[in-house]
Amino acid sequence: MQNPGTGTRPGGSFAVSCEELTFSYPGSKERALSGISFELRPGEYVGLVGPNGGGKSTLVRLLNGLLRPESGSVRVSGHDPATEPFEVRKHLGVLFQNPENGLVAPFVEDDVAFGLENLGVPREEMRARVAQAIRGVGLEGYERREPHTLSGGEKQRVALAGLLAVEPEILVLDEPTSMLDAAGRREVLEHLEVLRSRKTVLHVTHHLEELLNADRVLVLNGGELVADESPERLLADPELLRENRLILPVVPRLALALGLRANFKTPEELAGTILTGAGSGTRSG
Amino acid sequence: MRLELRDVHHVYAAGTPFEVAALRGVSLTVEPGEVLGIVGGTGSGKSTLVRHMNLLLLPAGGEVLVDGVDATTLKKSELRRRVGLVFQFPEAALFAPTVDEDVAFAPRRLGLDEDEVRERVRESLGLLGVGDLAGRSPFALSGGEKRRVAIAGVLAMGPEVLVLDEPTAGLDPATRGELLDLIRHLREAGVAVVLVSHDLDEVAEVADRVCALHAGRVCAIGTPAEVFYRDPGLAPVTVRVASLLQESRPEIGEPVRFGETVAALSALSGV
């Protein structure tokens, strides 16, 4: 496990902490992020949503050191991504939108090992960690498959295994399902659900239905952090949703239209309640 | 116009060890003014299929017909004006210094006079709700704005069939909703739309007919209800909810669109 002695560093007791974080792209008069402050506590599963151009991708790039803040600070497990990017990448892994862009090696197992090779991990240890990561995403037997022969969902799981092999305690998921079909999306989400008990997760998405089980949801709009709410409270606030170009997922939207409460997560839950209600007269929640 | 694909086959890298049969005998029609949804998993052949609609790819077997005439006998420029194809992430092809210049590029190449070009640019940008961006640089826009400008560029050619390949991927929910409104609007204006999407909820809302592809073959084609109720496990949320209720309450029928589903479920006593 990671060194617990990071508590003395600034932001050290948090997995991620941002304070008054501000950033503008060169040549742009508008700020991509202005004065963002928030923390992720170890083990939390936090959603990040907001309109296109709201600042989500910029924030992800600041967290892993691809961009440097104009002012304010970022700490990832107590480290500053701007000055210690390689240290930060041991603690925080990013799963990007398009799995095609991340896969580089001829075989699945080499691809999963890529991050560890860059860290100079000894061969025996590497073999064990790669095997464990491949098991972690349910791809046993795929070790010698060529990545280009896999489906979109499988490719994204290979990319996820590559991150897991490095054993970061924080995962940032940047729209990990937006290029996948319905089956691939379900497959990736199921594996992420399994991981949440062991990781701190920041999940960026346009699909609120993926965040119904999150601990909190952050909303970025116009470079500002405009909300930090539980998913239940976000879904119950039509004005907040509208202002941030969000739309209620179909299951809760259907429930509301039928005069039920919005807090249904799956078609099964909603159908079950409708059947019970229809059999025994109206029941208000 | 009526567009027909008859037993179309396509093979990538034919004659090499990497040969892949991407389409294995696909037949379908796009009727004038309809919205045809094309769904199917990654690698099922959706993008290969739509590239045959304006002969950007030539079929290895079978034929493409426009109003009953073999499309290969038509002038390519004419075919591509009448069947507009918007690729995935079309904003990658934006190139001009201003939005209106970018959208004017294709109609100008059709040899239209400058007044007509201006009119079409104004109209297309207006339809996509980005008229106020005309003088801006396309590179300074947000992802959703760029996407709409890129679609306006194809619309400005005045196509009779507009093919949209995953037009809403990566867009925020409100922008997705606005693009669906645009599709409804085009249908009212008599333009046929082919919508390729892996978002079944979105196809359910706007499609008149749905074609499901699997491994390069059409595995189902028909009304949204006919196609989606065949396999409710991989169907839009509305169909999944209704299918769960159908067994004990068959009177709800087979609703697909959100409004239809609300109406059908509200009719159950006690809800």
**Closest Cβ opposite residue A52 in set B144, B201, B241:** B144
Cβ contact (<8 Å) for B241 and A271? yes
Q: Are residue A175 and residue A270 in the same domain, yes or no?
A: no
Contact, B72 vs B64, CB < 8 A?
Answer: yes
Rounded to a whole number of angstroms, the distance between the first and last alpha carbons of chain B is 45
**Closest Cβ opposite residue B173 in set A53, A54, A206:** A206
**A279 vs chain B: nearest CA distance in angstroms?**
7
**DSSP label at B138?**
G
Candidates A24, A48, A52: best to mutate against B (most CBs of B within 10 A) is A52
CA geometry: angle at B138 spanning B132 and B143, to 5°?
Answer: 90
Chains A & B: contacts with CB separation below 8 Å: 116
- Asked if pLDDT for residue A276 goes beyond 90, the answer is no
Confidence of residue A278 (pLDDT cuts 50, 70, 90): low
**Closest Cβ opposite residue A274 in set B169, B238, B268:** B268
What confidence score (pLDDT) does residue A125 get? Answer: 93
Judge whether B118 is closer than 8 Å to chain A, CB to CB: no
Cβ contacts of A148 within 8 Å, gap of 6 or more: A103
What confidence score (pLDDT) does residue A280 get? Answer: 44
pTM score, whole prediction = 0.87
Helix (H, G, I), strand (E, B) or coil at A48: strand
Candidates B168, B229, B241: best to mutate against A (most CBs of A within 10 A) is B241
Confidence of residue B269 (pLDDT cuts 50, 70, 90): low
**Closest Cβ opposite residue B265 in set A52, A250, A258:** A258
Q: Which residue has the higher pLDDT, B37 or A187?
A: B37
Judge whether B54 is closer than 8 Å to chain A, CB to CB: no
Cβ contact (<8 Å) for B265 and A97? no
- Token pair 């600041």 is at which residue? A62
The domain locations on chain B are 33-56+75-224, 229-271
Q: Which chain A residues touch B266 with a CB distance below 8 Å?
A: 258
Closest residue, chain B, to A151 (C-alpha): B42
Q: Are residue A122 and residue A260 in the same domain, yes or no?
A: no
Expressed as residue numbers, the domain containing A68 is 16-247
The region of weakest confidence among A48-62, A157-171, A265-279, B61-75 is A265-279
Domain membership of residue A107 (yes or no) is: yes
CA distances from B59 to A61, B18, B38, B176 (A): 43, 18, 19, 32
Which B residues, 194 through 213, put their C-beta within 8 Å of a C-beta on chain A?
198, 200-201
For residue A279, the Cα-to-chain-centroid distance in whole angstroms is 41
Cβ contact (<8 Å) for A183 and B271? no
Q: What is the CATH number of the domain that holds A127?
A: 3.40.50.300
Q: Are residue A105 and residue A173 in the same domain, yes or no?
A: yes
Domain membership of residue A238 (yes or no) is: yes
Q: Which residue has the higher pLDDT, A176 or A218?
A: A218
What confidence score (pLDDT) does residue A284 get? Answer: 43
- Asked if pLDDT for residue B268 goes beyond 50, the answer is yes
- Read off the tokens for A76: 């990832």
The count of residues in chain B is 271
Q: Are residue A116 and residue A215 in the same domain, yes or no?
A: yes
Helix (H, G, I), strand (E, B) or coil at B46: helix
Domain membership of residue A176 (yes or no) is: yes
Q: Are residue A216 and residue A267 in the same domain, yes or no?
A: no
Q: Which residue has the higher pLDDT, A151 or B150?
A: B150
Cβ contact (<8 Å) for A180 and B198? yes
Helical residues (DSSP H) of chain A, grouped into ranges:
56-63, 85-91, 99-102, 108-118, 123-136, 152-165, 182-195, 231-235, 238-243, 250-257, 267-279
Q: Are residue A190 and residue A252 in the same domain, yes or no?
A: no
Give the strand order in the sheet containing A71-76: A33-40, A16-23, A71-76
How many structural domains compose chain A? 2
Q: Are residue A34 and residue A57 in the same domain, yes or no?
A: yes
- Read off the tokens for B127: 């339809």
Q: How would you write A125-165 as a 3-class SS string?
A: HHHHHHHHHHHHCCCCCCCCCCHHHCCHHHHHHHHHHHHHH
Confidence of residue B235 (pLDDT cuts 50, 70, 90): very high
Confidence of residue A1 (pLDDT cuts 50, 70, 90): very low
**DSSP label at A209?**
G
- Mean per-residue pLDDT over chain B, rounded: 93
Number of C-beta neighbours around residue B241 at 10 A: 29
ipTM confidence score = 0.87
Amino acid at residue number A100:
E
Q: Which chain B residues touch A28 with a CB distance below 8 Å?
A: 140
Judge whether B18 is closer than 8 Å to chain A, CB to CB: no
Q: Are residue A27 and residue A85 in the same domain, yes or no?
A: yes
Q: Which chain B residues touch A178 with a CB distance below 8 Å?
A: 169-170
CA distances from A228 to A64, B9, B117 (A): 22, 52, 47
Domain membership of residue A3 (yes or no) is: no
Which residues face A200 on adjacent strands? A170
Give the strand order in the sheet containing B209-214: B83-86, B161-165, B192-196, B35-39, B209-214, B217-222
Candidates B47, B146, B237: best to mutate against A (most CBs of A within 10 A) is B237
**Closest Cβ opposite residue B173 in set A246, A254, A271:** A246
**pLDDT tens digit string along B93-148?**
898 999 999 999 999 988 889 999 999 999 999 988 899 999 999 988 877 889 99
Cβ contacts of B49 within 8 Å, gap of 6 or more: B5, B8, B23, B26, B38, B213
Q: Are residue A277 and residue A147 in the same domain, yes or no?
A: no
Helical residues (DSSP H) of B156-230, grouped into ranges:
173-188, 200-206, 224-228
**pLDDT tens digit string along A36-78?**
999 999 999 999 999 988 999 999 999 999 999 999 999 999 9
**pLDDT tens digit string along A89-123?**
999 999 988 777 778 888 999 999 998 888 888 99
What confidence score (pLDDT) does residue B114 get? Answer: 94
Contact, B40 vs B231, CB < 8 A?
Answer: no
Domain covering B33-56+75-224, topology: Rossmann fold (3.40.50)
Cβ contact (<8 Å) for B262 and A254? yes
Q: Are residue A121 and residue A262 in the same domain, yes or no?
A: no
The region of weakest confidence among A6-20, B6-20, B75-89 is A6-20
Closest residue, chain A, to B248 (C-alpha): A275
Q: How far apart are CA A55 and CA A34, in angstroms?
A: 9
Pairing of strands A33-40, A16-23: antiparallel
Contact, B160 vs B2, CB < 8 A?
Answer: no
Judge whether A254 is closer than 8 Å to chain B, CB to CB: yes
Which residues face B217 on adjacent strands? B214
Judge whether B248 is closer than 8 Å to chain A, CB to CB: yes
Cβ contact (<8 Å) for B173 and A271? no
Domain membership of residue A7 (yes or no) is: no
Cβ contact (<8 Å) for B172 and A152? no
- Read off the tokens for B196: 């390729």
